A and B are shown apart, each in its own frame.
Chain A
């Protein structure tokens, strides 16, 4: 124990000196308001929640806050946070041999019973490896001994976790706020009984939604096509079915979340109105993996809103969900929240607005300050393509909503589109230009000053567990060509702030989103070559990734642009997101019906 104390002092000294040298040192302090500091000697199981991105991104994630609450609510359990260090901090840590530590107590990660990675985004995968390495742990699950912490993963990417499978001991599929504390309490019992690692994993695999990759073997045919994924242990269920919280009113919810010192990406109180989305946009993974729709009651929402503002001091309350204006009688709800928070000077906001008059009316009611700009996501600029992706809004809806907004005094719009959607042609891309030109033409003279119009264009990434999971991504060349149409077109339309996502990052996202276990060596190679913080353009190096593809002889295009047929085995076929394949096939066919090319499968 004395030795332990000395190590802690040493770590704190090194941390002290590192804090003096790095940018934004407040990222690493860990004593923020409402942070939980428990006695390590009085809790049976200690978990480090590892978010593989910078503090400002991780602290904006609602999943982190929910799990921090649900685990720390147990006397016998403890959860502390750790984020990917920024490049300058990593350099200091490596120079001083400072192991990756949790913020709350500066405890090295390897001293925890369990490390849980939140997998939100494919481009954070190199950060996962980097954090394991900074923690002083072997990257591969099979190389970690019985004393090492269990390394688990969860979040949207665990619906196709195969590229990470060799590194992670187990994944939790679906919503974890109820199953995670249960898993940790089981771990306490298993450790108490002296169970070995392999038996523990076997026990865990019997829990709902728990996927232990080492009990499954992918089988490839001679041409390298995945034929099936077989379980290799009779005691393990053949399919893993995701977890779903049944009653949001009963589920744990963070009413006193940690309040960061520094400004984070979403720096506000959040109350979740409902989970899931009934819209069923065919490209949207969140719309499928969070099914079915479950609502929180207005009473519960109001009580959470009250508790949140009292416990945090935030001046903004976000009424969050995938499509908040779909909450029944949301206008009534907003009125009631306003009433409840009267005098507190708290602004309510809706994060996701549909392009219809009703939503504009809501935004209008919520917004008291300067009406700068409203954000909408038409996704596609032609009605035909919007039908293909099931974003069912008509041209009329769009212009009525925008006209209402302008009449109400809004000064501009921010619009989100996607290119590369299935069936898209150059005309669909050019329609984005036309729509923006029309909007400028119609409203320029009708707002005070110049109409503010910003347009952001992403590239479609086919995701697991969506009706478009079989679809290829556009080839790299085609992405660049279609972006070029936009770049040149917008050059001729003055006064529009146009931005687009790099083709390179969208390509990598697709490779990993549809990848299998054979990508693990690529990931390791890319990390060894120095790839990390790939989601940040100032750190992203496509040249290093190309080198990694080359050195591991992996054809990235074959992954991103692969066209799966309905009867082919998908790398995530053994994982059950709650919607069956027949539904996806039906939706996929519907996307093509009414389109002259017809169904392609």
Chain B
């Protein structure tokens, strides 16, 4: 069995696919490419493909890792060229590399994610650009000063509990460009050991700003990179591959 890791980007309208849509799309592309996919054992065998961290609906991305298993020989560069022919334009494979069979699953390595949020338009708010930046910066500062930001989680049997997600914000800053749109950079904990959704934080930000109509859908959200813990530091997962 051959294990291949790959980095992909998604742009344009493909941002509107759910994680399950993405898996289906990749699997169908692999099947069309007629590559010798490896299947799981059991009653309903399915291809062994995983994406390191689900991409939220509406979010574009530039450095997303994934991995897939094949039966028999296949070179990463062949994988890349064959599958790209079967993918829509807005989904590109940036690189493909072999992964050691006993290396840990990519998904288990994810520790954090860096998002870039760009305010699309504040037409409804009737604010000048420079005021926008100020408004966002103030709201962000207020939000970060909080010791506790509660988010609801739906657990088993639809039981709702609340957890404090403030510790999951590793870094959050606003970038002001004169005349340009307001931009936020959010480095957030992510993956199986806990994390916070950027969409949730943007909705909290709207509440802090005093402009409840500044909803999460006013932003263009982009995931720049996923990180793993390398000793004391966070390092982009794509650099490990």
Interface residues, chain A, with chain B CB atoms under 8 Å away: 17, 19-21, 25-26, 29, 31, 33, 259, 261-263, 309-315, 344-345, 369-370
Query: A493: shortest Cβ distance to chain B, in Å?
Result: 27
Query: B124: shortest Cβ distance to chain A, in Å?
Result: 10
- Lowest 10 CB-CB distances: which A-B pairs, in order? A313-B28, A313-B31, A20-B217, A25-B16, A313-B32, A370-B43, A369-B43, A29-B13, A261-B21, A369-B44
CA A31 to CA B44, docked complex, whole Å? 30
Known: A262-B21, A312-B32, A313-B27. A370 touches B44 (CB 8 A): yes
* Cβ–Cβ < 8 Å partners of A19 in chain B: 13, 16, 58
A25-B58 in contact (CB<8A): yes
Query: A285: shortest Cβ distance to chain B, in Å?
Result: 34
CA A369 to CA B45, docked complex, whole Å? 8
Known: A313-B86, A370-B43, A370-B44. A263 touches B29 (CB 8 A): no
CB closest residue in chain B, given A347: B44
* Cβ–Cβ < 8 Å partners of A315 in chain B: 27, 31
* Cβ–Cβ < 8 Å partners of B21 in chain A: 26, 261-263
Best-buried of A261, A310, A311, A369 by chain B (most CB within 10 Å): A261
* Cβ–Cβ < 8 Å partners of A31 in chain B: 13, 88, 90
Q: Does B39 contact A (CB under 8 A)?
A: yes
* Cβ–Cβ < 8 Å partners of A311 in chain B: 32
* Cβ–Cβ < 8 Å partners of B29 in chain A: 33, 313
Q: Does B25 contact A (CB under 8 A)?
A: yes
Query: B64: shortest Cβ distance to chain A, in Å?
Result: 17
User: B24-61: which residues lie under 8 A (CB-CB) from chain A?
Assistant: 24-25, 27-32, 34, 37, 39, 43-45, 57-58
CA A370 to CA B17, docked complex, whole Å? 30
* Cβ–Cβ < 8 Å partners of B32 in chain A: 310-313
Query: A409: shortest Cβ distance to chain B, in Å?
Result: 12
CA A430 to CA B21, docked complex, whole Å? 45
Q: Does B20 contact A (CB under 8 A)?
A: yes
CA A17 to CA B217, docked complex, whole Å? 8
CA A369 to CA B39, docked complex, whole Å? 14
CA A345 to CA B45, docked complex, whole Å? 9
Query: A313: shortest Cβ distance to chain B, in Å?
Result: 3
Contact of B17 among A261, A312, A314, A345 (CB under 8 A): A261
* Cβ–Cβ < 8 Å partners of B57 in chain A: 25
Known: A26-B16, A29-B13, A345-B39. A261 touches B25 (CB 8 A): yes
Query: B178: shortest Cβ distance to chain A, in Å?
Result: 24
Known: A313-B28, A313-B86, A370-B43. A26 touches B217 (CB 8 A): no
Query: B40: shortest Cβ distance to chain A, in Å?
Result: 11
* Cβ–Cβ < 8 Å partners of A33 in chain B: 25, 28-29, 86, 88
Q: Does B18 contact A (CB under 8 A)?
A: yes
* Cβ–Cβ < 8 Å partners of B13 in chain A: 19, 29, 31
CA A383 to CA B117, docked complex, whole Å? 67
- 26 A-B residue pairs with CB within 8 Å: A17-B120, A19-B13, A19-B16, A20-B58, A21-B217, A25-B58, A26-B16, A26-B17, A26-B21, A29-B16, A31-B90, A33-B86, A33-B88, A261-B24, A261-B25, A262-B17, A262-B18, A263-B21, A312-B32, A313-B28, A313-B32, A314-B31, A315-B27, A345-B45, A369-B43, A370-B43
B58-A312 in contact (CB<8A): no
* Cβ–Cβ < 8 Å partners of A344 in chain B: 31
* Cβ–Cβ < 8 Å partners of A369 in chain B: 43-44
* Cβ–Cβ < 8 Å partners of B217 in chain A: 20-21
A310-B34 in contact (CB<8A): yes
Query: A21: shortest Cβ distance to chain B, in Å?
Result: 5
CB closest residue in chain A, given B220: A20
* Cβ–Cβ < 8 Å partners of B39 in chain A: 345
Query: A342: shortest Cβ distance to chain B, in Å?
Result: 13
Query: A240: shortest Cβ distance to chain B, in Å?
Result: 42
B88-A313 in contact (CB<8A): no
* Cβ–Cβ < 8 Å partners of A262 in chain B: 17-18, 21
CA A312 to CA B17, docked complex, whole Å? 18
A312-B28 in contact (CB<8A): yes
CB closest residue in chain A, given B26: A313
CB closest residue in chain A, given B219: A20
CA A309 to CA B33, docked complex, whole Å? 11
Query: B18: shortest Cβ distance to chain A, in Å?
Result: 7
* Cβ–Cβ < 8 Å partners of B45 in chain A: 345
* Cβ–Cβ < 8 Å partners of A309 in chain B: 31
* Cβ–Cβ < 8 Å partners of A310 in chain B: 32, 34
CA A19 to CA B17, docked complex, whole Å? 11
CA A369 to CA B30, docked complex, whole Å? 22
CA A33 to CA B25, docked complex, whole Å? 9
Query: B99: shortest Cβ distance to chain A, in Å?
Result: 23
CA A302 to CA B126, docked complex, whole Å? 62
Query: A33: shortest Cβ distance to chain B, in Å?
Result: 7
Contact of A26 among B18, B37, B86 (CB under 8 A): B18
CB closest residue in chain A, given B121: A17
CA A233 to CA B39, docked complex, whole Å? 65
Query: B20: shortest Cβ distance to chain A, in Å?
Result: 7
CB closest residue in chain B, given A25: B16
Query: A422: shortest Cβ distance to chain B, in Å?
Result: 43
CA A19 to CA B14, docked complex, whole Å? 11
A259-B28 in contact (CB<8A): yes
Query: A207: shortest Cβ distance to chain B, in Å?
Result: 39
Known: A345-B39, A370-B43. A263 touches B88 (CB 8 A): no
CA A17 to CA B220, docked complex, whole Å? 10
CA A17 to CA B16, docked complex, whole Å? 12
B58-A263 in contact (CB<8A): no
* Cβ–Cβ < 8 Å partners of A312 in chain B: 28, 32
* Cβ–Cβ < 8 Å partners of A259 in chain B: 28
* Cβ–Cβ < 8 Å partners of B24 in chain A: 261, 263
CA A30 to CA B233, docked complex, whole Å? 43
Query: B219: shortest Cβ distance to chain A, in Å?
Result: 9
Interface string of B69-103 (1 = CB under 8 A from A): 00000000000000000101010000000000000
Query: A15: shortest Cβ distance to chain B, in Å?
Result: 9
* Cβ–Cβ < 8 Å partners of A345 in chain B: 31, 37, 39, 45
A314-B20 in contact (CB<8A): no
Query: B49: shortest Cβ distance to chain A, in Å?
Result: 13
Best-buried of B16, B18, B58 by chain A (most CB within 10 Å): B16
User: B95-137: which residues lie under 8 A (CB-CB) from chain A?
Assistant: 120
* Cβ–Cβ < 8 Å partners of B90 in chain A: 31
In the complex, besides A26-B21, A31-B88, 9 extra interface pairs with C-beta distance below 8 angstroms are A19-B13, A20-B217, A262-B17, A262-B21, A309-B31, A310-B32, A311-B32, A313-B30, A345-B39
CA A19 to CA B31, docked complex, whole Å? 29
CA A311 to CA B85, docked complex, whole Å? 12
Query: A391: shortest Cβ distance to chain B, in Å?
Result: 33
Query: B26: shortest Cβ distance to chain A, in Å?
Result: 10
Best-buried of A21, A309, A313, A344 by chain B (most CB within 10 Å): A313
* Cβ–Cβ < 8 Å partners of B20 in chain A: 263
* Cβ–Cβ < 8 Å partners of A26 in chain B: 16-18, 21
CA A310 to CA B29, docked complex, whole Å? 10
Query: B70: shortest Cβ distance to chain A, in Å?
Result: 13
* Cβ–Cβ < 8 Å partners of B120 in chain A: 17
CA A261 to CA B43, docked complex, whole Å? 25
CA A98 to CA B82, docked complex, whole Å? 39
